[in-house]
Structure 1
Amino acid sequence: MKNLSLVFAFALLSQFSFAQETQGADIVITIENVLTDGGQVYAALHTAETFMQSEGIDFDVAEGKKGTLLLNFKGVKPGTYAVMVMHDLNGNNQMDFDNNGMPQESYGMSGNDMHMGPPTFDAAKFEVTEEDLELNIRF
């Protein structure tokens, strides 16, 4: 009976340690230079497979406020990711473009690469380890 109790205790402890190992890192995103109040600011976490293809694997949203905002992702597993951020001023849940294809709403991405043309995953990617991470993104 004593051996059975020891096996059960070991199994329980190993489950607790496994749960702690798989929690992942927290990523805090500081969004600088929000130009106007109103609407919502969305941050989407992407892998190479989801970048510019979908809503991403996770997202956070905050009310648009002029100045600086904080958004975050919790429990992100180690890997290579990118973050895309946009300020949806009119509440239609998408980026609006004018007739020549230029964005009408503020946006940014990790890496802060703001070259002409569509963003690339390689320019925006960063590595997540077991450690929490802080990123600054400028509109």
Structure 2
Amino acid sequence: MRTLALTIALIFSVTFSNAQDAENTNHITVTINNIKNNNGHVVLSLHTADTFMKGPGIKSIKSEVVNGEIKVTFENVGAGTYAIMALHDENDNNRMDFSENGMPKESYGMSNNPMNFGPPEYQAAKFELTKEDLELNILF
């Protein structure tokens, strides 16, 4: 009886772990091809409404710039609503630099390429990831 219970528990755990993997098999490929120089890196972060402008995203990627462009893929992302923020960290100090008047010194962009004249907003940058892979182009 004990062996039967362990066998059933093992079957359920394998079944549910495979189901979880199947839910997180989507990929989001991001291209940025208008980067002004090859200095530093581009840092991209995938956000939910809970993490947007509040800290690190749920996934991050750092990419070297080659010929003014990058192409990266966020792998194994579950279906849901997300936003992507991208920063060209030209001096590799892992943060956005600002001028004395508060304007950003380094290029940045977001999914959907909103034209904001203030802080980035989740509502303008959000997108839906369904059961299919997604390709996005972000402009700086």
TM-score class normalised by the smaller sequence: 0.7 to 0.9
Map Cα deviations across residues 19-70 of structure 1 (whole Å, 9 max, x no partner): 5522331000011201101201011000011101111110111112342210
What residue in structure 2 maps to residue 53 of structure 1? 54
One-letter amino acid of the counterpart of residue 22, structure 2: E
Is the 1:38–1:65 contact (alpha carbons within 8 Å) kept by the matching residues of 2?
A: no
Give % identity: 47
Partner of 1:84: 85
| TM-score, normalising length: structure 2 | 0.85
- 1:16, 1:117 → 2: CA distance? 43
User: Which residue number in structure 1 is paired with residue 41 of structure 2?
Assistant: 40
Q: Residue 115 of structure 1: CA displacement?
A: 2.0
Give the structure 2 partner of residue 74 of structure 1: 75
Report the Cα offset of residue 130 of structure 1: 1.5
Q: How many equivalent pairs are there?
A: 133
Q: Following TM superposition, by how much is the alpha carbon of 1:107 offset from its aligned partner in structure 2, in angstroms?
A: 0.5
Q: For residue 96 of structure 1, what is the aligned residue in structure 2?
A: 97
**Residue pairs, 1:18-33, within 5 angstroms:** 18-33=19-34
- Normalized against structure 1, the TM-score is what? 0.86
Aligned-residue CA RMSD in angstroms?
2.0
Q: Supply the AA of the counterpart residue of 1:114.
A: M
Alpha-carbon distance in structure 2 between the residues aligned to 1:121 and 1:89: 25
Distance 1:44 1:16, change over 3 A: closer
Tell me the secondary structure at the aligned position of residue 67 of structure 1.
coil
Q: What are structure 2's unaligned runs of at least 5 residues?
A: none
Is 2:130 the counterpart of 1:125? no
Any unmatched runs of 5+ in structure 1?
none
Deviation at 1:96, TM superposition (A): 0.3
